[in-house]
Structure 1
Amino acid sequence: LSSPRSVCLDGTIYLVADNTKKVYSYDLEANVWQKVQPLHMLHENGGLVALDGKLLMTGGHWKGMEGD
């Protein structure tokens, strides 16, 4: 994965691959990785945070920004 972002929420690590819509989760207790619902759009160079039980991408760039 290119420049992944990660955050832990409720015992699960979430990983977002840079410049893709792909999102993966790792269940610490079950020791299992899996693909989860993808992002709605490509995103790169942003941050990933957990807030109020939700994952949020912050900053960065997305396809369509600045006339892309």
Structure 2
Amino acid sequence: MTTLPQFALTVLGLLFCAGDVAALALLLTWQERAPSPDARRLRLLRGVLPASALLLALLLLAVVQLALL
């Protein structure tokens, strides 16, 4: 009887991982669409690096939790 909750958690974990990768892609696209090289560098330092570190940490946590299932 425990296979259904494990399957549901696995599917939710995979959806979370896919959403996380999509958010990383959106973040990098936002950074590349800055009007000037200075604005791109500023977006990189103030927005992309901290947010991508957080998203990658969440992705790593999700993958570890999926592996432990």
TM over 0.5, shorter chain = no
Q: Shorter chain as normaliser: what TM range?
A: under 0.3
Larger RCO: Structure 1 or Structure 2 (Cα < 8 Å, ≥ 6 residues apart)? Answer: 2
Give me the TM-score of the superposition, normalised by structure 1. Answer: 0.25
Going by fraction, where is strand more abundant, 1 or 2? 1
Give me the TM-score of the superposition, normalised by structure 2. Answer: 0.24
Q: Find the structure with the greater CA-based Rg.
A: 2
